[in-house]
């Protein structure tokens, strides 16, 4: 079930309460601005990469053509597979995934999958962790630290994370639990991906042309 909107308070990592700020309705937040979840959701719609990390806005750099080529290719392959098997829905960034409205934690994974039984988390935004997320890894990370992101995914119920490594042409699949990373395996060349969330997808890195 979709969590309720927060009450205008940001609770920081250390439990510190941040006071509510003036209305930002229709404005575009700047990098480093401090906002509650409600305030963030009232800001202007934008296609830029931005996230809200414990109440602080983080604006990312625009992705490279290579990044977008790989992302689009994976999105098409996954959407066709998921559609044919009627498993759920595939989504791509920029789309807000609200992991914790109370603590103002909102991320925008490159791509994510939500299974049929969890479609109720999809409303005006995504209210909760997807079943699977995919991140195309760039030489220079656009927003945040990978280990921190993986920690969020574990905490908020993401079951699997795929990391597409541009430079090495590898796809890493991580099985996640609330306790942390259960397993991780890297696939190269003709090796077929093994996934517990999408068990019959089974593509190999070599089929991707966007490398």
Q: Please write the tens of the pLDDT for every residue from 118-139.
A: 999 999 999 999 999 999 998 7
Residues of the chain with CATH 3.90.1570.10: 65-207
Mean pLDDT, the chain, rounded, equals 88
3-state class of 66 per DSSP? helix
Going by DSSP bridges, is the β-strand pair 111-115/132-137 parallel, antiparallel, or unpaired? Answer: antiparallel
What's the confidence (pLDDT) of residue 48? 81
What's the confidence (pLDDT) of residue 1? 45
What's the confidence (pLDDT) of residue 27? 60
Beta strands of the chain (E only): which ranges? 10-11, 17-18, 50-53, 56-59, 88-92, 97-100, 105-107, 111-115, 126-127, 132-137, 160-165, 170-177, 180-188
Confidence bin at 13 (pLDDT 50/70/90): very low
Q: What is the dotted CATH code of the domain comprising 65-207?
A: 3.90.1570.10
CA–CA dist 136, 138 (Å, integer): 6
pLDDT at residue 152 is higher than 80: yes
What's the confidence (pLDDT) of residue 175? 98
Residue 203 CB burial class (10 angstroms; 0-12, 13-18, ≥19): middle
Rounded to two decimals, the pTM is 0.85
Q: What is the DSSP letter of 138?
A: -
Q: Read out DSSP for 37-64?
A: HHHHHHSPP--S-EEEETTEEEEPPPPP
Confidence bin at 3 (pLDDT 50/70/90): very low
Q: How do residues 54-100 score in pLDDT, each as one tens digit?
A: 999 999 888 999 999 999 999 999 999 999 999 999 999 999 999 99
């Amino acid at each position: 079930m979709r969590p309720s909107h927060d009450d205008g308070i940001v609770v920081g990592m250390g439990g510190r309460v941040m006071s509510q700020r003036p209305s930002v309705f229709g404005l575009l937040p700047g990098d480093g601005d401090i906002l509650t979840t409600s305030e963030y959701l009232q800001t202007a719609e934008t296609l830029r990469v931005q996230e809200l990390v414990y109440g602080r806005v983080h604006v990312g750099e625009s992705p490279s053509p290579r990044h977008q080529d790989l992302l689009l290719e994976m999105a098409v392959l996954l959407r066709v597979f998921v559609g044919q098997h009627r498993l759920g829905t595939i989504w791509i960034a920029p789309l807000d995934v609200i992991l914790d409205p109370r603590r103002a934690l909102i991320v925008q994974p490159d791509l994510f999958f939500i299974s049929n039984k969890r479609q109720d988390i999809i409303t005006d935004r995504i209210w909760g962790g997807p079943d699977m997320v995919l991140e195309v890894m760039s030489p220079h990370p656009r927003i945040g630290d990978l280990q921190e992101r993986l920690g969020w995914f574990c905490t908020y119920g993401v079951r699997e994370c795929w990391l597409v490594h541009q430079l090495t042409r590898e796809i890493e699949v991580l099985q996640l639990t609330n306790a942390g990373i259960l397993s991780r395996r890297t696939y190269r060349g003709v090796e077929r991906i093994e996934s517990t969330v999408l068990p019959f997808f089974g593509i190999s890195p070599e089929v991707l042309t966007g490398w």
